[in-house]
Structure 1
């Protein structure tokens, strides 16, 4: 077979198929491979007129169809299946070739795979791809990791199919070495969890406290989407809330079971944040809220527990309440995004990746699930102040959080008063207050730890590490000296 393809895609389920079509539409000659040959045939039969495809029937034939240095994209299930595919193709490739893993792999697996393939002279680019099946076809946000040499080969191809930001820039950029791309994609998904949870809480407040119907809430969301909350998730929420179930005539949201599922990336984010010692309570609350929603037996057993049963607000107050919900949602959203960037910075420092925080915001401005208008402001903030310790230290964002405080606190209080759970909104406010507090009760916690476990403590008034002999004369001794 003549080596004519600029890039190849193996694994032609929905995401792989749409990426292959995107490459072809962009002018690339695309080699196709799938374990089940029928999928390859179906793609060519249905979409062969969209570009130049080279269907193949074996791994060896697939590799032979690729020009040197070969670039092949693996779109198979994460875990064992990915390892099996990589082992199969690594034996057929040559030094300088590039393998792209476009699945939702754990970044630690990507680091392991990159190191193993590097020893064989093969570049491995663990690559986050966000935008779902539609984004894969029309232009996703792409987060490739791996070596700079790999990106020299791969970058022009990825930038050709990526989404375009409002300023025309491609939403694809080299994130950093080994697992950096999949790490950033993982955090993206964690932020996505938090964003969706906050939007769901805003909806719940507008329905249960303001007494608005789903179609009315959709109009409120449409209004928000014309302002600072302009984002893909707000946009699609309005569409969901206007949809009516064909069988029952009820609002669609009322016939969907209230059990949110998850594929694991949010959980990975929280677990990794714990390992790094980075607080991401916005993401954690969203993960736990999904988990709680799935414990239907527990919820049924607790359904009769006492709580407030307040009536919805009078009409005159409901509109003002909706304005306050907008402020609380926006402030909480800023907090969750800030936590995500804090985690990316920590991961970059821990693993020596040198991630450009401004660049991350730049490639999330289009194509991905959390795309939002204010991401351009985040991009500018980190570009102008690369050493910014947290997004919340940006003067403009700090001013907005200060302006939202009154409404934010009233919404948190109203949710408690009406018995509407808002772990995301209320937790974001608690995080904000924790950061700005001059002194935290952690001093008492540390004293307790010293009492029962002799874990020592530090003092505010002088350097050193100390222990109090609680079971004896209660004298203080310094423990960091011989």
Structure 2
């Protein structure tokens, strides 16, 4: 691609001979009316080019089915290039030929018998939108040297690079290879602890025999086509900054670094701004699905510069899970750290979903039911509240080891990796009552105090009365609590979108969470349509009807559990939140009066429509 006169036909023909695939001159496919228009000295408009571009796209698709081809085409605008690669996006490589105005004009003037007059060059330059996803070549070099460079770049280099071969990194690498991508992988060399990780990984699987494996960073980077696309699968925090620092001396303009770990969204925004100054793109991509999802298809949440996302879109969307309509569970989330923020909220919802299941497990367990019986209870309403977490919970409860339930042998101390903590802090910073995620986090913290719990247990009575609830009511309470958890999570996403001007598409986020990720469920599938029309779940007619129908069960379950000394922080927060958020007049007027009393913080009055703030001298004067 490039303006007329840069040598597309010369380079394309030579490259065609070198690669043994046919070359087609795009100019030969212009209809008669386009040729006549240019011959008369008038530039083509978008409508003139539309049919021509479509015909070249058809040609490319036909040749793709054989062995590929080279097409010389000006492809001046991004939308032209998008049209040209329709339905073959993953298999297109762009070569952008460019040079000085004087050199191109001289070539045009010396060209004989071409309908494109030199006078139209400036109109092409004015239309040119320089691509960021192309191999850029300066035409001042001899044609043979240019072809030599291109051959080396295209034939001997990988499409995509991945750094960090832990569990997730290995699974994503295998996923990329399975989808037909040529990749390079790198893992650091640490004598005595991490040696030959990349080489051994390559040798472990037959399908990886063609990948390029490195423990030398410069060799790894040199193995990648420009602009380079490098995914980091390293631990969040200082490790990400360290790898970026190591990469920078070897990177070029428009290279892209993708952080696929669970980084904090503010760190992602900082890194993006820092790398932008170095003319390198940075994408923060949340990835959910665990080891299995990374291998077979995760849910991916990329945020950053949209033009950078477009360059990595073919890779991420191809390896992502697919929804029920076959669309990839990967979409452009928004600018800056929005991708990692969205993944953080995903994990926060996940925290509360897991805690709710543990509370239902605890309720049934307190009635004397064994794990098999509890699993059977959960299966009762699986058709209306099906989710990945429910499915694995049922499998966990059924699992036996030497004839005994494995769950009974697992120490009751729940760990966390920080995303629940980050979500809770973000909610507090934004002033959003994300009470269920916070409670699920604190429940994990309480579980970690095992020794203290053992000491306190005999000092308090935990005798349970028989629960005055049936299993159906308990499961209805769980069903409503899940709706409230999702309502809180999406509310936090929506408020963050407004605060940071991310313009998040809540419905699209719900859609990419319908498969591949940990919180996929039938409820999430329902929310795709709900969030198209409402940013608040409770405004939806069907959700509202479900909430009203299920509320009595939750209202009865919570006090019964409390009377029986069963800790249910998430269930109780669910009903408290629902009661509070639907209360037209809260008791917060007393809090504001107290604040004015001791701190003169002022208050607004219900009988003053001006909205002005007032202060009262509350204390009686001493007599």
Report the TM-score, using the length of structure 2 for normalisation: 0.72
Q: Does residue 181 of structure 1 match 2:339? A: yes
Cα deviation for residue 307 of structure 1 reads 4.0
Rounded to whole Å, the distance in 1 between the matches of 2:476 and 2:258 is: 41
Of 487, 493, 504, the residue aligned with 1:338 is 487
Rounded to whole Å, the distance in 1 between the matches of 2:160 and 2:206 is: 16
Secondary structure at 2:458 match in 1 = coil
Question: Highest CA radius of gyration, 1 or 2?
Answer: 2
Q: Does residue 7 of structure 1 match 2:164? A: no
Of 117, 133, 140, the residue aligned with 2:298 is 140
Secondary structure at 1:185 match in 2 = helix
1:60-71 correspondence runs (5 A): 60-71=218-229
Q: Does residue 229 of structure 1 match 2:377? A: no
Instruction: Summarize the Cα distance change of 1:325–1:51 in structure 2 as closer, same or farther, 3 Å threshold.
Output: farther
Of 151, 158, 168, the residue aligned with 2:309 is 151
Maintained 8 Å contact 1:332/1:429:
yes
**Corresponding residue for 1:391?**
537
Maintained 8 Å contact 1:29/1:51:
no
Cα deviation for residue 264 of structure 1 reads 0.4
Maintained 8 Å contact 1:21/1:51:
no
How many positions carry a matched residue from both structures?
462
Instruction: Summarize the Cα distance change of 1:223–1:127 in structure 2 as closer, same or farther, 3 Å threshold.
Output: same
Instruction: Summarize the Cα distance change of 1:362–1:425 in structure 2 as closer, same or farther, 3 Å threshold.
Output: same
Rounded to whole Å, the distance in 2 between the matches of 1:91 and 1:469 is: 66
Rounded to whole Å, the distance in 2 between the matches of 1:171 and 1:51 is: 29
Deviations 1:13-41 (A, max 9, x none): 11111111110001000101110351101
**Corresponding residue for 1:477?**
none
Of 212, 226, 229, the residue aligned with 2:369 is 212
Of 271, 276, 286, the residue aligned with 2:430 is 276
Cα deviation for residue 90 of structure 1 reads 2.1
Q: Does residue 467 of structure 1 match 2:620? A: no
Maintained 8 Å contact 2:203/2:209:
no
Q: Does residue 360 of structure 1 match 2:524? A: no
CA RMSD of aligned residues (A): 1.6
Unaligned runs of 5+ in 2: 1-151, 190-194
Of 231, 234, 246, the residue aligned with 1:73 is 231
Maintained 8 Å contact 2:199/2:214:
no
Rounded to whole Å, the distance in 1 between the matches of 2:209 and 2:423 is: 38
Cα deviation for residue 94 of structure 1 reads 1.1
Of 203, 212, 219, the residue aligned with 2:361 is 203
Cα deviation for residue 292 of structure 1 reads 0.5
Unaligned runs of 5+ in 1: 475-482
Of 180, 195, 201, the residue aligned with 1:43 is 201
Maintained 8 Å contact 2:353/2:482:
yes
Of 401, 414, 420, the residue aligned with 1:245 is 401
Rounded to whole Å, the distance in 2 between the matches of 1:199 and 1:458 is: 42
Maintained 8 Å contact 2:506/2:535:
no
